[in-house]
Amino acid sequence: MPAASRRWIIRPTGASSRAGGIDGTIKLCEVATGKQIKVIDVGTGPVHAIAFSPGGKQLASAGQSNDVQTWDVATGTQLEAFKGHTRWVRFCVFSPNGKTFA
């Protein structure tokens, strides 16, 4: 598992996990082996929080850049960026139905 990671979460399917790192990346790893599958460079600085949507198809990340971003887990593509926070964003979570997050 990556040493520079700050947060670990397990995907709802249980097959993979994500790590948010101080190096500004999100890493997808297999739970059983710890093998790294994919790296997403958020491009905005250290990642302080990550959250999977209930179905595991989207991911939200937040951090030192004062914004929150959503990602497509399969492709690693950024879906949307929510800017305008006045301080670091330290937590994020999806609602149970996956339609909103905070």
Which CATH number does the domain housing residue 16 bear?
A: 2.40.10.480
What pLDDT tens digit does each residue of the chain (102 aa) get?
444 444 555 555 555 555 556 778 888 877 777 788 888 888 877 888 888 888 888 888 887 777 888 999 889 899 998 887 777 777 788 899 888 877
Nearest to 47 by CA among 79, 21, 28: 21
In a domain, 90, yes or no: no
Supply the range of the domain harboring residue 19: 5-82
| CA–CA gap between residue 101 and residue 46 (Å, rounded) | 20
Residue 2 is predicted with a pLDDT of: 43
Residues 23, 96: Cα–Cα separation, whole Å? 30
Tokens coding 99? 């339609």
Rounded Cα–Cα distance for residues 85 and 54 (Å):
25
Task: Indicate the number of domains in the chain.
Answer: 1
